[in-house]
A and B are shown apart, each in its own frame.
Chain A
């Protein structure tokens, strides 16, 4: 059957199977014909081809909670458990995810393999920074327990390792105590990029921060944005939001999102906030997961799909680098509804983890003729500023770009070999990037 990542590009023919326990996972690795390619897959929320291969090992049946310590908030669960279920069970008990990406529909295994970050990266780091230990099924060494203290090299290769070291079976990690399911949100209006970065600087101590950029505006208002800041409230109310309310039933015609409709959307979005500063109390659901309220929003981009382009520029390159990229995009007129800017804190020791000190910007691009040459141009700008691209969003960067921007790639390949994973686990992405 046909599979794709969240961007609906590329689409490939693949076979999927879902082992029911760790023994079945080991058997699946052992029974793999030589030259066959296998990659673990969770909810398929990585955007490009990182969870695509002719054979897919879905972790949907490894979806059990194994242990929970209600005094410390340490949760042990299978890799197929999704973040939505963790919230549903543990928010009412006063616990929250230590780090959450912009969707709750990812599995714990996927969150680790992508080493996901959230709006609190500047203070709390990545998802893997909260892991006590995990178990990975590897072809050469069987099931290996690893943590930041033991079997460190496997841990550092697996967290952020895009499923290329083995199958993550389970993880133990710390939840974070909260005093309410509500968030005190502050929205700050920035007239341009300089002001946006100043506001990030001035609000370093905010628990959560992210900016929505209108990337079609140019000139003096290049980079005009809304900066969202958040703090957990303390009112003792613990409510889980209800499920999805609306859904995009099928692929929209590709003209729905065009230069003009996006321009209108971005202008409306920017101008809905009247005052330079606006405060309100919001449920965590709408604060963290605004897009989860629209099921299958990826279909808005039409059948051809889209790519998300998320890059990181080091602090030193920041303002000028982002300005160069934004100017190039504004010139091209190929806009993105969702341009998200965030200032990262320090990076971690994981070999292929994306975040480190600097600025990150994420943009969507509908697949249209000429889009890939534009993205290649953007790659060149990013590389010139010593930046890099997020593997979880990637569907098209070159092996050369990858090697230039991820200096630990050689160590990663060595670790993969040591655990026999290079012969078993490969994705379309790993083949393309020659990992």
Chain B
């Protein structure tokens, strides 16, 4: 396989790190964006040791919308073109706090939804000009149906998923593939306060699925795969019944 240029946004998240490590082992060229520069530097050095052809990085804060375009442009300036752009940033809000605090709700929608759309708008245009490549975004199974335990996060992710559908439709003829990655429960620092059952997966497992889906230019991937079936059931429960459930 020839060397690919990869841009990863939210690069120090557990899933992003795990995928980057797979790319590094293939000797790909990586450009990383994330908020914590100490962790970025450590991650970049690790990827160089494990085989990445080159690793560049810059500080990026998803909440600073006015910086989005410049950050993406600098990445393109550095690498010339990107074969894959992976967007991974996000944060899991406390649903109960959000229910009584509209500021927290809007913050959660902004970071998990609006900021991704802001980035995607700019990235889509750069990729369209480039004429090939893959845009991959980590959303969530939570976006497939609103549930009382998690609907603020879920609606932000649903917004991104619908946006991606439209974008895929728009960019199809331009040779750009758009992948929506829907992980189930993944054992990461973001979810460390949850009790882990059989359904929980490790980031390394999820990373392997993500890489495969990107390589094969898939449209949507549920990871681990069992979530495809779980969510197909959840989506198909009639609302009449669903609203009575404790999910």
Contacts and interface: CB of A to CB of B under 8 A. Distances in A.
Interface in A54-85: 58, 60-61, 64-68, 78
A399 B50 CA distance: 45
B49 A68 contact: yes
Interface of A: 1-2, 15-18, 20-21, 23, 58, 60-61, 64-68, 78, 89, 249-250
Contact of A61 (B45, B189, B195): B189
B198 A67 contact: no
Contacts of B192: 16-18, 58
A21 B39 CA distance: 7
A64 B42 contact: yes
A15 to B, nearest CB: 7
A20 B194 contact: no
Interface string B32-63: 00001011001101100111000000000000
Interface string B190-219: 001111101000000000000000000000
B189 A1 contact: no
Contacts of A61: 39, 189
B12 interface: yes
A60 B51 CA distance: 21
Nearest to B39: A20
A250 B198 contact: yes
10 contacts: A1-B194, A2-B195, A18-B189, A20-B38, A21-B38, A61-B39, A64-B46, A66-B42, A66-B46, A249-B198
A212 to B, nearest CB: 30
Interface string B14-46: 000000000001000000000010110011011
A1 B187 CA distance: 13
Given A20-B189, A89-B50, 4 more contacts: A1-B196, A65-B50, A66-B49, A78-B42
A21 B42 CA distance: 9
A278 to B, nearest CB: 35
B112 to A, nearest CB: 20
Contact of A23 (B12, B38, B50): B38
A345 to B, nearest CB: 32
B51 to A, nearest CB: 8
A250 B50 CA distance: 35
A64 B192 CA distance: 20
Contacts of B36: 20-21
A67 B51 CA distance: 12
B45 to A, nearest CB: 6
A82 to B, nearest CB: 10
B43 to A, nearest CB: 6
Contacts of A17: 192
A18 B42 CA distance: 16
Contacts of B45: 64-67
B198 A20 contact: no
A61 B198 CA distance: 23
B142 to A, nearest CB: 20
Contacts of A20: 12, 36, 38-39, 189
B49 A15 contact: no
Nearest to A16: B192
